[in-house]
A and B are shown apart, each in its own frame.
Chain A
């Protein structure tokens, strides 16, 4: 069965510090997808990134970067030079079953990031 673990429940940083969120997943499938979503205080879930299991290339998008390591089943997320607007709960999620369309997402427990001015 698929499982996602986000061991850090809450991280507090001062603005401009970097913050890395850990995500470890378990799956028996060889083809799967990993996602990160942001949940700001307003409550909606905002898509950040989708990565398939065959693409281990790290990705950078502005101040966000992701490090996917299949060998350790991890998909970590780093916010560089954090800002107050980054304060939110961040969820890592996994979709397996061969990566086929329509499969459910299994979410981790989330990491609350608090960025203080």
Chain B
């Protein structure tokens, strides 16, 4: 069964460093997303991406964040200068389009646990 994959599974970085989190969405999906979950808290939406551009972004997704689909399979989240509060689990998700253009299920990857020291 197709699945979303993410690398790395864990990343430790120093405050101020740049990190790139990588995702391979399910191959025929058209919509891509990043969410984050601070330890013990709810899952929060960061950004959605369709047709090579950002569809929607949350208040969390400030100028320090960027997303890219560098080729036909990868979808990346870059944090330019990490802060302590960026420590969280980052989930990538992808979805197709249901009939009539309606929301299809978002399938999540296993997550990347980011720790900023």
A residues whose Cβ falls under 8 Å from a Cβ of B: 31, 33, 35, 37, 42-47, 50, 52, 91, 93, 95, 99-110
Contact = CB atoms under 8 A, between A and B. Distances in A.
A45 B102 CA distance: 22
A102 B89 contact: no
B102 A99 contact: yes
Interface of B: 30-31, 33, 35, 41-45, 48, 50, 55-56, 58, 89, 91, 95-98, 101-111, 113
6 contacts: A42-B110, A43-B89, A43-B111, A44-B110, A102-B30, A104-B33
Interface of B, secondary structure class, is strand
Given A107-B43, A107-B44, A102 B55 contact: yes
Given A42-B110, A104-B33, A107-B44, 18 more contacts: A31-B102, A33-B103, A35-B106, A43-B113, A44-B111, A45-B111, A46-B108, A52-B102, A93-B43, A95-B103, A99-B102, A101-B30, A101-B98, A101-B103, A104-B45, A105-B35, A109-B41, A110-B42
